[in-house]
Structure 1
Amino acid sequence: MADEPRTNRLSWPAVEAHVRSIAEAASLDRAPDCLIGILRGGAVPAVLVAHLLQVRDLRTVEVTHTLRDGIDAPKSPQVRIGNPSTLGDLTGLDVLIVDDVAGTGHTVRVTAELARRAGATRVRTAVCVLNQANLDPDLPASEIPTYTALTTRGWVVFPWEAQS
């Protein structure tokens, strides 16, 4: 059907290439002290980036905007924060936040705010995929992810997600 969303299914080799791209870009700008993976989808690429950059300080935080899994899943009116204390003390650290995909950009923005509140002195953000179809047009340029491996339009399905 013409009304169905365009779905981009990524393979493991594609994800690995995206992660390498993020790691290379971040290393050119100095490897971070700490990586933060946004749960759930950002955990996988965050681990891979941490290994490539040889960063042992890897943390996770639950920040979500979608209400459930699935193509074109509905979003909550506000970004929901799980347990921000999982970030711990980030005082004086250069932090890289990693997520699998940025739709509206709100999840990455809120996570960056949490990292700054936890004391990070430098906060960079990275996503494997930026979905321009959903990106909030009012999002300031300074809040668009620092590193983006792929820009697309439409829903993205990663190899670790349940596929129907």
Structure 2
Amino acid sequence: MNNPNQKSFPVSWDQFHRDSRALAWRLTSIGPFDAVVAIARGGLVPATIVARELNIRTVETVAVKSYDHQNQGGIKVLKEISQSILDMAKNGAKVLIVDDLVDTGSTARLVRDMLPGAHFATVYAKPMGRELVDTFITEVSQDTWIFFPWDLDVAYAAPIGGGTD
């Protein structure tokens, strides 16, 4: 979060679990899906929850790096989608792609190109990337930095209005 005007949106484990289940609920009318592809790392947790809720047993990953801690940089594929999933999709199987967030859309665009017919779902969406996903739960402004539960530790927070108590 380099911009002092940037908003902060911390998400607890409970909230993320509820939002991921809400995503699964929203996807029930679109499925059933034959496989889910989680975009690692952020999409691993919501994809697991969605796969459980929708009883999807074929779970795959694609590993894409587009962030360095809090700064978005170049995009790099670290692990490709397996050929068996690509073949399933080519043969008409219904594949679901899951990620935690669509931000600028660079990751979403790259993975969509790998699986053009897949349904793309994210828990959170920002305006610049929103058009690239088919289903999401919560939209946040582009200048909001989402702190996911795996990025946080319990610590003292100063009162908003100042002071120490």
Structure 1 residues 95 and 126, CA, compared in 2 at 3 Å: closer, same or farther? same
Query: Following TM superposition, by how much is the alpha carbon of 1:85 offset from its aligned partner in structure 2, in angstroms?
Result: 4.4
Query: Following TM superposition, by how much is the alpha carbon of 1:64 offset from its aligned partner in structure 2, in angstroms?
Result: 2.4
Question: 1:128 and 2:129 equivalent?
Answer: no
SS of match in other structure, 1:88? helix
Query: Following TM superposition, by how much is the alpha carbon of 1:87 offset from its aligned partner in structure 2, in angstroms?
Result: 5.7
Query: Following TM superposition, by how much is the alpha carbon of 1:81 offset from its aligned partner in structure 2, in angstroms?
Result: 1.2
Question: 1:80 and 2:76 equivalent?
Answer: yes
- Residue in 2 aligned with 1:7? 8
- Residue in 2 aligned with 1:147? 135
- Residue in 1 aligned with 2:151? 161
CA–CA separation in structure 1 for the residues paired with 2:6 and 2:24? 30
SS of match in other structure, 2:56? coil
Question: 1:22 and 2:20 equivalent?
Answer: no
CA–CA separation in structure 2 for the residues paired with 1:127 and 1:85? 18
SS of match in other structure, 1:50? helix
CA–CA separation in structure 1 for the residues paired with 2:83 and 2:135? 21
Structure 1 residues 100 and 85, CA, compared in 2 at 3 Å: closer, same or farther? closer
Mind listing any 5+ residue stretches in structure 1 that lack a counterpart? Answer: 117-121
Q: TM-score of the superposition, structure 1-length normalised?
A: 0.80
How many residues align? The count is: 146
Structure 1 residues 81 and 41, CA, compared in 2 at 3 Å: closer, same or farther? same
Query: Following TM superposition, by how much is the alpha carbon of 1:162 offset from its aligned partner in structure 2, in angstroms?
Result: 4.5
Q: TM-score of the superposition, structure 2-length normalised?
A: 0.79
SS of match in other structure, 1:104? coil
SS of match in other structure, 2:85? coil
CA deviation map 1:104-127 (0-9, x unaligned): 1121221121124xxxxx411111
Mind listing any 5+ residue stretches in structure 2 that lack a counterpart? Answer: 156-165
SS of match in other structure, 1:145? coil
Identity over aligned pairs, percent: 24
CA deviation map 1:59-118 (0-9, x unaligned): 11112222x113xx1322xx31122144633322211110111101121221121124xx
SS of match in other structure, 2:101? strand
- Residue in 2 aligned with 1:53? 54
Aligned-residue RMSD, C-alpha: 2.1
| Higher mean displacement: 15-24 or 85-94 | 85-94
